Amino acid sequence: MTVTLSNDHLKAQISSQGAELVGLCDEQGRDLLWDGDPAFWSGRSPLLFPIVGRLRNDEVRIDGRVYSMKQHGFARVVAFEIVDAAPEFCRFRLNASEATREQFPFDFRFDMTYRLDGGRLIFAASILNPEGRSIPVSFGFHPALRWPLPYGGERNAHEIHFEAAEPASLHTLSDGLIGTASRPTPVQGDRLPIHDDLFQDGALVWSELASRKVRYGVPGHRSITVSFPDMPHLGIWTKPGAGYVCIEPWQGYADPVGFEGEFKDKPGIVMIPAGESRDFSMEIELDPPTES
C-alpha cells in the first residue's frame, strides 16, 4: 500500500513495504527521486536498519552467537503497519517479530514518519527499546535523487556543496567492507563536482564529517538541500551511468575488513538504553521556484 502526501510545493509517495519513499515531485510534477529502474538499481530511498552497509561474511556476532543478515539490514524489505495518515503527514511502524529476531535478537519498535512543511520533506525515525537491557543499532537514510535534476544544466555540471570544508580522507572499500587504506578527499574545499569516475570503486564514505547539510544541483540553477542534524557519517553513491546520485546520511557504516568482534563494539554503533528511544532525522528541501 502507498500513502500520498501533497501540498502546494511537493508530492511524496511512501510505500508500506520498507516504509520507503518511492516518489517525490515538485509543484509541476517533475520527478526528483529515482524511479527504481532495476537495470541499474531497484531501490529508491530504502531505510537502513539495524545495520548500515555490509557485514563481514554477512554475519553479525551478538552475545557470542552468530546471526546472518544481508547488506543494510532487514527493515527495507519488510512490511510496516500504517498507523497514521493525513494529507501532509504519515507514520509507519515495525515491531520486532520472530522473523526479525532470527537476524537481530532484540525487541524494538521502529516508527518512521514523513511530513511535508512547505518545500521540505522531513524524515523522522524513532527506535524504541522496550527491553530491560541496552540494544546496539545502526541506522541510515539512502535517498536516490535524480541526476541530472530537471532544472537545466549538464549532468556533469552538478555538484554537492558541503556546509563546511571537508579535508578528511575517505575510506577505501574492499568487497563492500571498510578497507585498511584511505583515499584523499575529492572535495575541493567545500565543493564536490560529481562525475561517474568518482564511483568506479563504489561509494564515497566519510566517517569524519564536519557538515550536517549539503546542497545538490547545478550552480545558478534550482537545487535541493539535504540536512541531517543527527547523522555523523555520510555515503555518496551511484552506479556509473545511472540517472541518480544517493546522498546517504548514516549512523554507522560497513564492517571494517577483518572485524570479528561483537556487534556492540563495531565502529559507528550506538546503544539505546533500556526503555529509551533514539531518533534519527533528515530533510530534503527544494528551492522555491524562480519567478519568470
Is 290 within the bounds of a domain? Answer: no
Residue 181 pLDDT = 87
Q: Mark the ranges of the chain whose per-residue pLDDT is less than 50.
A: none
Is 288 within the bounds of a domain? Answer: no
Is 172 within the bounds of a domain? Answer: yes
Is 287 within the bounds of a domain? Answer: no
User: pLDDT digit string (tens) for 139-185?
Assistant: 999 999 999 999 999 999 999 999 999 999 999 999 999 999 899 99
Burial label for 246, CB within 10 Å (0-12, 13-18, 19+), is: buried
Is 87 within the bounds of a domain? Answer: yes
3-state secondary structure of 129: coil
How far apart, in whole angstroms, are the C-alpha atoms of residue 106 and residue 111?
16
What domain count does the chain have?
1
**Cell triple for 230:** 543527527
Residue 203: give its domain's CATH number: 2.70.98.10
> In the sheet where 120-128 sits, what is the strand order?
81-86, 89-95, 109-117, 120-128, 277-286, 224-227, 213-217, 159-162, 191-193
Q: Which domain holds residue 26?
A: 2-277
**Cell triple for 197:** 569516475
pTM: 0.97
* Per-chain mean pLDDT for the chain: 96
Is 162 within the bounds of a domain? Answer: yes
User: pLDDT digit string (tens) for 197-225?
Assistant: 999 999 999 999 999 999 999 999 999 99
Backbone angles phi, psi at 54, to 5 degrees: -95, 155
Question: Which helix (H) or strand (E) element contains residue 204?
Answer: strand 204-206
**In terms of DSSP H, where are the helices of the chain?**
98-101
CA 133 to chain centre: 27
